[in-house]
Structure 1
Amino acid sequence: MSEEQENQLEKEMNVTGHLSELRNRLIVTAIFFVGFFIVGFIYVKEIYGFFVNDLDFTLNVTSPGDIIWIYFTMAGLVALIVTIPILCLQIWLFIKPGLTPNEQKASLAYIPAIFILFLIGLAFGYFLFVELILPFLLSLNDGMFNELFTVDKYFKFMLHVTLPFAILFEIPIIAMFLTSLGVITPDYMRKVRKYAYFVLVIIGTIVTPPDFILQTIVAIPLILLYEISIYCSKAVYRKKLKKHQEFMEKDTIE
């Protein structure tokens, strides 16, 4: 076997090894997801009670399938939330060998931040839904219609509002990560600020009713979130420049 063939075989073995490791880590994540799903399934009544405790109306079901749907939805939501840090940890362990010790420490700090921001986004979206959006929509009825709320439509609408906020609240972490990779810079984020604002306002319009006040209330936190992302990106960028400068000075001395 020639040297070129040996190198090719070694590359193929490395790729196979990486794919095998990635598969194993995904399997570990899936096992945790199933375990948390089972726990959520067991405590569905308590979880469901938390969401409907303060409602002024009763949710109805129109078929036995709706009951199964709410069980799987509540259990799946719990499993998704709790599995996020597990998934992030498995991804970090997968890329860890290719990182320097400093990069390992810095990237590991992203895991709890991702989880916390996801929870804050969910809580913020749920607060908007319960305190602003739902009361506004109910006020439009004004006695004109007989209200009948089904479980599946109510929770689908609630998730439609809350989940986007959970994802959008990850913007600071995404900005920091992309800055560390050199994909974006704080100057670039400032340059595209007006386009980012426009996109965030559109997202706020999609997840809220057609009311200017509500859309403004939703858009302002999203815009502030983008400004926080610029600040986070700037902090990471400064550290990169400092390390690069120290490296250049050390190289010059040598």
Structure 2
Amino acid sequence: MNEDTTPRPTREELAMTLFEHIGELRKRIIYTLIVLVIGLAIGLFLANPAYDFLMSQEPVSGMKLHTFSLWDGIGMYMKFALVIALLLVIPFAFFQLWAFVKPALQEREQRAALTFVPMALLLFIGGLAFSYFVVFPMAFNFTTDVSRHLGLEETYGITQYFTFLFNILIPISLLFELPIVIMFLTQIRILTPVRLRKMRRVAYLILIILGTMITPPDFISDMLVAVPLIVLYEVSVLLSGVVYRKQQARDAAWEEEFGT
């Protein structure tokens, strides 16, 4: 029997490879943090027109908001800056993730994974629209109805109002990235549609819990958020299946041409 004479990597070479990967990951994280800081600066510049726009929309149009602290105005600016910065950071973070795993992907997989970057931005914007135009009015009306039922006088602070708003907008918008995350993990062969189907019950439970945490404590509101999240998961499973079948077809073609 012929012995395998292929040289095996030494412990020092393996350690060097590990440190190179850690260094590369550190570089990608630093780049993302730099863009986050730049996005915050841009967000501070755009916070005032964004604030004026939201204050002209229902349900806050014509409502007088109050400040109960000297820091409330600054806190409002920072919240707006964070949301605006996320519009820049999310696609850039996906691009950095793609650049990190790029050496391990085939050329076709590299091109396919790169298309996830603009899709991530579109899904985030879609999540913002859904949470602002559907979930937030529903949550606001529920809480104000409870207050009026108790005979309470409505006096809203600017911090309390926008904290309530962004606590709904940001989590739902990030959850809308689920299809992109699952497709990307399938593309780099970490997840498969079979594994996702086996995880379906656990995923449903987690999504329902998240839906109840974001929305007011009534069944209709919970379902109006949980059902779209479950639909997003099922869409993610379907998209994962598309990516997986293309991988299987390419692997089969490779084996047929070059052998196993």
Give the drift of 1:20: 4.1
Mapped to 1, the partners of 2:251 and 2:185 lie a distance apart of 17
The aligned counterpart of 2:86 is 80
Of 177-186 and 196-205, more deviation after overlay is shown by: 177-186
Q: Unaligned 5+ residue runs, structure 2? A: 1-6
Matches within 5 A, 1:28-107: 28-54=31-57, 55-56=60-61, 57-107=63-113
Matches within 5 A, 1:1-254: 11=14, 13-54=16-57, 55-56=60-61, 57-142=63-148, 144-252=151-259
Question: How many residues are aligned here?
Answer: 249
Cα deviation digits, residues 60-101 of structure 1 (max 9, x gap): 110111111112221122112212222222232233233221
Mapped to 2, the partners of 1:82 and 1:73 lie a distance apart of 15
Q: Unaligned 5+ residue runs, structure 1? A: none
Of 125-134 and 226-235, more deviation after overlay is shown by: 125-134
Give the TM-score of the pair, scaled to structure 1.
0.86
Cα deviation digits, residues 36-81 of structure 1 (max 9, x gap): 2222212221111122222142221101111111122211221122
Mapped to 2, the partners of 1:194 and 1:137 lie a distance apart of 31
CA contact (8 A) 1:29 1:86 kept: yes
- Alignment partner of 2:148: what SS? coil
Give the drift of 1:117: 1.1
Of 203-212 and 32-41, more deviation after overlay is shown by: 32-41
Return the letter of the residue paired with 1:44.
Answer: A
Return the letter of the residue paired with 1:45.
Answer: N
Give the drift of 1:131: 2.7
Mapped to 1, the partners of 2:46 and 2:73 lie a distance apart of 14
Residues 213 and 190 of structure 1, relative CA distance in 2, 3 Å threshold:
same
CA contact (8 A) 1:129 1:158 kept: no
Mapped to 2, the partners of 1:182 and 1:7 lie a distance apart of 27
Q: CA RMSD in A?
A: 2.5
Give the drift of 1:154: 1.6
- Alignment partner of 1:142: what SS? helix
Residues 9 and 234 of structure 1, relative CA distance in 2, 3 Å threshold:
closer
Give the drift of 1:239: 0.7
Give the drift of 1:236: 1.1
Cα deviation digits, residues 186-234 of structure 1 (max 9, x gap): 2332333233222222211111112112222222211211111111011
CA contact (8 A) 2:67 2:158 kept: yes
Residues 199 and 175 of structure 1, relative CA distance in 2, 3 Å threshold:
same
Give the drift of 1:146: 0.8
